[in-house]
């Protein structure tokens, strides 16, 4: 195998691995934006909050970052439920959610980011775990364990959520509220309560994604901003509200970025997701798997 082909194969594999992790970041937005119509642009900042919780508990008590991510889903769920209650009360009820709701989440993004900056400074922080160092090599392809674990955990998370949304009553009710709020009311379910649960779940995924992020690479508070374009590009590309679509779009973006980084230099990869976003918005706003 030539050097070039080996390099290409390696970058595709690492793109797939990173893409799986992007799916974990994007799934929260896919639920909030796609199913509930809430454009929570503070989601990337909440992911960073999750990373820093994992950092603190790891560096103080030596806890495993993924375990912290799983445990933190509980407080994150309640944080999300609380946020939705405030959002519903202040904006949805008044019908001013578009402009002021966006500004609300933007303010939240800003408060979280500056708050983390005041506490932790602008230095990069990282966690310690036995699986962060080693790496498997298969021919020219290297499989770092710190990328494999977030990938596998993300796949599990997405499968779990997909089963929840298609097999359980609450999950189906969430899918239904996305389609027709009034029909759901007629069936005897309370849309606000259903949406509160869904937004709680959406926020809970941020704590997991945050833990995966800090396993993958060192983090600093303002990093979430770089992910906003990427996450929304994945959601739009995958088709708003479709979890399998989100996963496939995340892998596509991951591979495209990885190939760009390998052959043109990593400083160009932030522009890739934006390119995808614009193309998706112009060519097919419903996304690859969306309802047109």
Residues making contact with another protein (CB under 8 A)? 33, 39, 41, 86, 90-91, 94, 96, 98-104, 106-108, 110-111, 113-115, 117-118, 222, 225-226, 228-229, 232-233, 236, 267-268, 270-271, 273-274, 277-278, 281-282, 285
Quote the longest CA-to-CA distance of the chain. Answer: 63
Q: How far is the C-alpha of 292 from the C-alpha of 236, rounded, in Å?
A: 12
Identity of the residue, 95 or 188, whose beta carbon is nearer to another protein in the bound complex: 95
For 98-144, where are the alpha helices, taking DSSP H only? 102-120
Identity of the residue, 41 or 57, whose beta carbon is nearer to another protein in the bound complex: 41
Nearest in space to 65 (alpha carbons), one of 255, 203, 210? 210
Q: How far is the C-alpha of 289 from the C-alpha of 220, rounded, in Å?
A: 34
Nearest in space to 215 (alpha carbons), one of 150, 121, 280? 150
How many angstroms separate the first and last alpha carbons of the chain?
43
Report the nearest approach of another protein to the CB of residue 92 (Å): 12
Identity of the residue, 41 or 149, whose beta carbon is nearer to another protein in the bound complex: 41
Identity of the residue, 90 or 175, whose beta carbon is nearer to another protein in the bound complex: 90
Identity of the residue, 78 or 110, whose beta carbon is nearer to another protein in the bound complex: 110
Report the nearest approach of another protein to the CB of residue 265 (Å): 8
Strand partners, 138: 141
Q: What's the token pair of residue 284?
A: 């097919």
Identity of the residue, 57 or 261, whose beta carbon is nearer to another protein in the bound complex: 261
Q: How far is the C-alpha of 118 from the C-alpha of 49, rounded, in Å?
A: 13
Query: Which 3 state secondary structure label does DSSP give 142?
Result: strand
Report the nearest approach of another protein to the CB of residue 66 (Å): 28
Nearest in space to 235 (alpha carbons), one of 49, 22, 36? 22
Identity of the residue, 217 or 222, whose beta carbon is nearer to another protein in the bound complex: 222
Q: How far is the C-alpha of 204 from the C-alpha of 73, rounded, in Å?
A: 5
Report the nearest approach of another protein to the CB of residue 174 (Å): 20
Report the nearest approach of another protein to the CB of residue 216 (Å): 19
Q: How far is the C-alpha of 212 from the C-alpha of 98, rounded, in Å?
A: 31
Q: How far is the C-alpha of 155 from the C-alpha of 86, rounded, in Å?
A: 32
Report the nearest approach of another protein to the CB of residue 135 (Å): 29
Report the nearest approach of another protein to the CB of residue 224 (Å): 11
């Amino acid at each position: 195998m030539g050097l070039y082909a080996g390099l290409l194969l390696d970058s595709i594999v690492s793109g797939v691995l990173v893409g799986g992790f992007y799916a974990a970041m994007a799934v929260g937005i896919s639920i909030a934006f796609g199913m509930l119509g809430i454009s929570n642009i503070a989601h990337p900042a909440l992911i960073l909050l999750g990373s820093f919780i994992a950092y603190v508990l790891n560096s103080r008590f030596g806890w495993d970052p993924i375990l912290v991510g799983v445990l933190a889903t509980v407080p994150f769920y309640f944080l999300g439920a609380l946020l939705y209650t405030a959002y519903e009360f202040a904006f949805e009820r008044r019908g001013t959610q578009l402009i002021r709701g966006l500004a609300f989440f933007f303010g939240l993004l800003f408060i979280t980011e500056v708050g983390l900056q005041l506490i932790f400074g602008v230095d990069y922080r990282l966690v310690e775990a036995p699986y962060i160092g080693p790496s498997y090599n298969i021919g020219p392809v290297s499989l770092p364990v710190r990328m494999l674990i977030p990938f596998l955990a993300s796949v599990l998370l997405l499968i779990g959520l997909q089963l929840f949304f298609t097999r359980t009553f609450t999950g189906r009710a969430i899918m239904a509220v996305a389609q027709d709020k009034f029909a759901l009311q007629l069936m005897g379910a309370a849309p606000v309560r259903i949406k509160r649960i869904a937004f709680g779940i959406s926020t809970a995924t941020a704590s997991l994604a945050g833990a995966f992020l800090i396993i993958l690479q060192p983090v600093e508070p303002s990093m979430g901003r770089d992910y906003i374009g990427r996450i929304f590009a994945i959601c739009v590309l995958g088709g708003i509200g479709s979890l399998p679509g989100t996963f496939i779009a995340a892998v596509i973006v991951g591979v495209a970025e990885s190939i760009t980084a390998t052959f043109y230099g990593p400083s160009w990869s932030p522009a890739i997701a934006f390119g995808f976003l614009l193309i998706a918005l112009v060519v097919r706003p419903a996304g690859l798997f969306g309802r047109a």
